Amino acid sequence: MSLAAQFQQTRQFSESLCSPLSVEDYNTQVIDYASPPKWHLAHTTWFFEEMILKKYADTYREFDPQFGFLFNSYYNHVGERLARGARGDISVPRVDKVLAYRQYINEHMLTLLENDPPVEALSLATLGINHEQQHQELFLTDLKYALGRNPLYPPYGQGTNLVNDTNTSHGTVNMDEGLYKIGHQGDSFHFDNETQVHKVYLNAYSIDKALVTNGEYIEFMDAGGYDTFHYWLDDGWHYLKDNDINAPLYWQKIDGRWHYYTLAGLEPVNPDALLSHVSYYEANAFASWKGRRLPTEFEWEAASDQLDWGKRWEWTNSAYLPYPGFTISKDAVGEYNGKFMINQMVLRGASVATPENHSRKTYRNFFHPHLQWQFSGIRLAA
C-alpha cells in the first residue's frame, strides 16, 4: 500500500470511530489525562500541519492560527498550549469546523505526498500515521473513561464489549539463561525508544502463556488482597488508600455480584475473560499474592515469539528508561518519547483497542504506575 493510501485509510478510520457519537459526546472530558474525541481529531490533524505542511509545502497557508495553541499536546518547541485538563472546555471550534480542518489538511497532505516530497517529509508522514493510530487507541480508552463515569452507563455501540476475550494458550514457556538481543531490527517503522539494538543477559526464567483472568483476580480480592499491605509497594498502598480503590477500574458490586462497565454498557463480570484496567500497583500486588512476579520488558520480548499476545497491554517490571546509545533529537519530534523517561513503567504487547498493523514485539508503551484506564492486564513470570 502506498504511503498516500495508508494516510487516507488512517484518517478515515479515525472518523469512523466517531460514527456512534452524538454531538454532545465530542467534548466530554472528566479527568485531565483522558482527552475528548474532538480534541483527538484536531490534534492528530495539527500534527501533520505543524510537523510537515508548514515546513515542506511551499504554498501552504495555515488553516487557523489559533489552532496551534488549542491542539498542541506537549511540544515545547512549538510554543504555548492549552492546559491538558481544559481540552474539554473548548466549545469553539465546533465539530463541523474541526472536520473541515481535517479535510483541508488531508487535501494538502495528499498533494504533497503525490508530488515527490523530500525523504524527511515522507519519514514524518509515516510518523504522523503511527501517531494518529496511537490516538485511535486513546480515543477508545478515553471515551470509555468518560462514558464509564456517566451514572447512566451509556453504551458506545452494540458489540463493543472489547473485554470478553479469553485465553487461547496455557502452560509456561521456559527460557534458558543467556544473552538476548533486544530492540527493533530492520528498516520497518518503529519509534525512537525501540532503538538501539543491544544485548541483555537474562537468568533462566519461566513466563506464563496465559494472562490473568477476572476470576483469578476475584480470588485475590476475596482473599483480602486490597486490605493486606504486605502485597503492595508502599507507593501503591498509599495511592490505594488515598483514593479508596478496592477493585479494577469500572468494577462495582450490584446485589452481591461484580459488574463492570464495558463500551457496550454495564454487564456482569465474565470470570473467564482476561482481566483488564488494572494499574501497575495492582498487577504487582497480585503477582506478590501468587508468589510470582511480573516479567521484565526484556524477558517479555525474548519470549514473545512463543506467547499469544495483543489482547491486553501487559505491565512489566521495568522502568521506562533509554536503551544504550539512545539520543533525543533537538527538534520537536525529539519530544515524542525521550522526555518521558522518568517515573513510568513499561507495558508490552498491544490491546483490543490497538489499531491493526500497529503492534510489534519491540513496541514499548509506558504509563505512570497508578493508571488503570488502558486495556492493561497481567502476565506472570518466575
Q: Which of 273, 256, 162 is nearest to 216 (CA)?
A: 273
User: Do 296 and 181 share a structural domain?
Assistant: yes
User: What pLDDT, on a 0 to 100 scale, did the predictor assign at position 323?
Assistant: 97
User: What pLDDT, on a 0 to 100 scale, did the predictor assign at position 380?
Assistant: 99
User: What pLDDT, on a 0 to 100 scale, did the predictor assign at position 72?
Assistant: 96
CA distance 208 to 169: 9
User: What pLDDT, on a 0 to 100 scale, did the predictor assign at position 335?
Assistant: 86
Mean pLDDT over 141-169 rounds to 96
User: What pLDDT, on a 0 to 100 scale, did the predictor assign at position 54?
Assistant: 97
User: Do 261 and 117 share a structural domain?
Assistant: no
User: What pLDDT, on a 0 to 100 scale, did the predictor assign at position 358?
Assistant: 97
pLDDT tens digits for range 212-225: 999 999 999 999 99
User: Do 213 and 67 share a structural domain?
Assistant: no
Confidence check: pLDDT of 332 > 90: no
Burial of 176: CB neighbours in 10 Å, binned 0-12, 13-18, 19+: exposed
User: Do 340 and 223 share a structural domain?
Assistant: yes
Confidence check: pLDDT of 33 > 90: yes
User: Do 143 and 176 share a structural domain?
Assistant: no
Residue 366, domain member (yes or no): yes
User: What pLDDT, on a 0 to 100 scale, did the predictor assign at position 45?
Assistant: 98
User: Do 183 and 36 share a structural domain?
Assistant: no
Domain enclosing residue 72, as ranges: 3-148
Instruction: Name the band, by pLDDT with cuts 50, 70 and 90, for residue 330.
Output: confident
User: Do 183 and 112 share a structural domain?
Assistant: no
Residue 276, domain member (yes or no): yes
Residue 167, domain member (yes or no): no
Residue 164, domain member (yes or no): no
User: What pLDDT, on a 0 to 100 scale, did the predictor assign at position 226?
Assistant: 98
Q: Which of 86, 84, 80, 85 is nearest to 67 (CA)?
A: 80
CB 136 within 8 A of CB 17: yes
User: What pLDDT, on a 0 to 100 scale, did the predictor assign at position 334?
Assistant: 87
User: What pLDDT, on a 0 to 100 scale, did the predictor assign at position 158?
Assistant: 83
Mean pLDDT over 113-123 rounds to 96
CA distance 162 to 88: 25
Mean pLDDT of all residues in the chain? 97
Q: What is the CATH classification number for the domain harbouring 119? A: 1.20.120
pLDDT tens digits for range 91-100: 999 999 999 9
CA distance 382 to 369: 21
Residue 304, domain member (yes or no): yes
DSSP classification of residue 213:
B
The verdict on pTM exceeding 0.85 is yes
* Residue in this structure with the C-alpha cell 525474548, named with its chain if needed: 302
User: Do 143 and 186 share a structural domain?
Assistant: no
Residue 157, domain member (yes or no): no
Q: For the chain, how many structural domains are there in total?
A: 2
Which residues, in sequence order, are CB contacts of 103 under 8 Å at separation 6+?
Answer: none
Last residue of a domain, one of 114, 148, 182: 148
Q: Are strands 205-208 and 198-202 parallel, antiparallel or unpaired?
A: unpaired
Residue 29, domain member (yes or no): yes
Q: What is the CATH classification number for the domain harbouring 333? A: 3.90.1580.10
Residue 161, domain member (yes or no): no
User: Do 198 and 68 share a structural domain?
Assistant: no
User: Do 338 and 189 share a structural domain?
Assistant: yes
User: What pLDDT, on a 0 to 100 scale, did the predictor assign at position 111?
Assistant: 97
User: Do 103 and 242 share a structural domain?
Assistant: no
Last residue of a domain, one of 107, 133, 148: 148
User: Do 360 and 254 share a structural domain?
Assistant: yes
Q: Are strands 178-182 and 198-202 parallel, antiparallel or unpaired?
A: antiparallel
